[in-house]
Amino acid sequence: MSLPNDPLMLENFSVSFANSFKEGVQYLKDNDNKFIDPVLLVSGDADLYVVPKDAIDFYQETNSINKSLRLYHGLEPKGDIVVDDIVRWISQRAKK
């Protein structure tokens, strides 16, 4: 996997993007109890965007009965291990 060469990989972003991201996270926090869809939360302790505590909090507060939390030590949520976990999670649910 070569994420640095991925044309969809964000390398830098504007202040408005950061503000929108922050607003989106706040919306999820404010409405986590209404969230019932299947969800996979992925975070690593080297993640620059979502700290593991936020992922853990959302996992605990969401009302989804089909939820999974993957925390990676020493990793950002990218790379082959993470991609394999995401593909496996989606594949398991696509079979149902």
Between residues 66 and 44, the one the model is more confident about? 66
Domain tally, the chain: 1
Range of the domain at 68: 17-94
Question: Does residue 1 lie within any of the structural domains?
Answer: no
- Angle 11-67-75 from CA coordinates, rounded to 5°: 35
- Angle 13-9-61 from CA coordinates, rounded to 5°: 80
- Which of 76, 70, 65 has the alpha carbon at shortest distance from 55? 70
Q: Give the pLDDT confidence score for residue 68 in this predicted structure.
A: 96
- Residues 78 and 3: beta-carbon distance below 8 Å: yes
Question: Does residue 7 lie within any of the structural domains?
Answer: no
pLDDT digits (tens, 9 = 90+) for 28-41: 889 888 989 999 99
Residue type, 21: F
Q: Give the pLDDT confidence score for residue 1 in this predicted structure.
A: 44
* pTM, 2 dp: 0.71
Question: Does residue 28 lie within any of the structural domains?
Answer: yes
Number of CB atoms found within 10 A of residue 54's CB: 16
Question: Does residue 2 lie within any of the structural domains?
Answer: no
